[in-house]
A and B are shown apart, each in its own frame.
Chain A
Amino acid sequence: MEQKTKVHAEDGGQELFITREFDLPLHLLFKAYVEPRLVEQWMGTKVLKLDNKKHGSWRFQTTDEKGNILFQAGGVIHDIVPNQRIIRTFQMEHAPFEAQLEFMDFEELTGNTSKLTVQIVYRSVAVRDQMLAMPFAYGINMAHNRLQKIIEKLDP
């Protein structure tokens, strides 16, 4: 299958680029980022606040079925131009990661297709590399948990 999402991270840089072409008209792609009800559906998180204006702020939260907070993040919207761009900060709360700056550019390709370019700037090269490696580490952890179960079963 063709890979629609591309990630570009220059060696030794503190930023990365994520690009994706969508089979969606530009206005629907943009809407997916500003309509709380829709953000909740595709991000799988609750939108506590999403003030889509210059100097507005946003806050998302994910909880488990018992109401424990699993993920909470927020930031400030630096600039927003409908169907063109959103510039915002992003920071996970209760996590040892510092704020990052995100530039999201929305482009029309055809009447029914559009493109999103997300540029994320981190505080340092080390932080960027750490964020890049996280899903990989997560995969290893999942394997570790499975292994743990296997070992427990073998050695009760």
Chain B
Amino acid sequence: MQTNDYAVKLRRDVFQAIADPTRRAILLLLASQSMTAGAIASNFDSSRPTVSKHLQILTECDLLMQQRNGREVVYHLNPNKMKAIADFIEPFRQMWEERFNKLEAVMRKFKDQP
């Protein structure tokens, strides 16, 4: 049971990580190349510490990996983890959840009509 709970928690964390548009943009930016934190931050309007925080979250859930290159630290995608989330069905589920919420709202309004 404990292992199961852990797996669920881990999975939720990945979803929280990719739920944020800036973090998704970072993943996309790193899809074709490895980059330093500074180079990544230069692509965004957000402050450097904000981008660092995003990088930290993405690294903690294993979507990104850090690699030391002399004095520089570069970030790159963890392809195995990315493949795993590409299979995940959460955005698909959310799409249906929204659709059905709408259905429920429309029918409640319909029911209340005289």
Enumerate chain A interface residues (CB-CB to B < 8 A). Answer: 3-7, 9, 18, 20, 22-24, 28-29, 31-32, 38, 41-44, 116, 129, 131-140, 142-144, 146-147, 150-151, 154
User: Is A42 touching B103 in the complex (CB atoms < 8 A)?
Assistant: yes
**Quick one: given A24-B108, A32-B107, A147-B43, are A9 and B102 in contact (CB under 8 Å)?**
no
User: Is A135 touching B94 in the complex (CB atoms < 8 A)?
Assistant: yes
**Could you mark each residue 77-114 of chain B with 1 if its beta carbon is under 8 Å from any beta carbon of chain A, else 0?**
00000000111111111111101111111111011000
User: Is A32 touching B103 in the complex (CB atoms < 8 A)?
Assistant: yes
Q: How large is the interface on B (under 10, 10 to 19, 20 to 34, 35 or more residues)?
A: 35 or more
Option from B21, B92, B102 in Cβ contact (under 8 Å) with A7: B92
Nearest chain A CB to B60's CB is how many angstroms away? 20
Q: Is residue B25 within 8 Å, beta carbon to beta carbon, of the partner chain? A: yes
Q: Is residue B24 within 8 Å, beta carbon to beta carbon, of the partner chain? A: yes
User: Is B92 touching A38 in the complex (CB atoms < 8 A)?
Assistant: no
Secondary structure type dominating chain A contacts: helix
The CA of A138 and the CA of B33, in the complex, are separated in Å by 22
Q: Is residue B74 within 8 Å, beta carbon to beta carbon, of the partner chain? A: no
Option from A9, A23, A43 in Cβ contact (under 8 Å) with B99: A43
Nearest chain B CB to A120's CB is how many angstroms away? 11
Option from B24, B43, B91, B100 in Cβ contact (under 8 Å) with A151: B43
Inter-chain residue pair count (beta carbon < 8 A)? 101
User: Is B89 touching A132 in the complex (CB atoms < 8 A)?
Assistant: yes
User: Is A150 touching B89 in the complex (CB atoms < 8 A)?
Assistant: no
User: Is B28 touching A133 in the complex (CB atoms < 8 A)?
Assistant: no
The CA of A133 and the CA of B87, in the complex, are separated in Å by 6
Q: Is residue B45 within 8 Å, beta carbon to beta carbon, of the partner chain? A: yes
**Quick one: given A24-B104, A133-B86, are A5 and B93 in contact (CB under 8 Å)?**
yes
Chain A CB count within 10 A is highest, among B43, B87, B100, B105, for B100
The CA of A143 and the CA of B45, in the complex, are separated in Å by 14
The CA of A78 and the CA of B86, in the complex, are separated in Å by 33
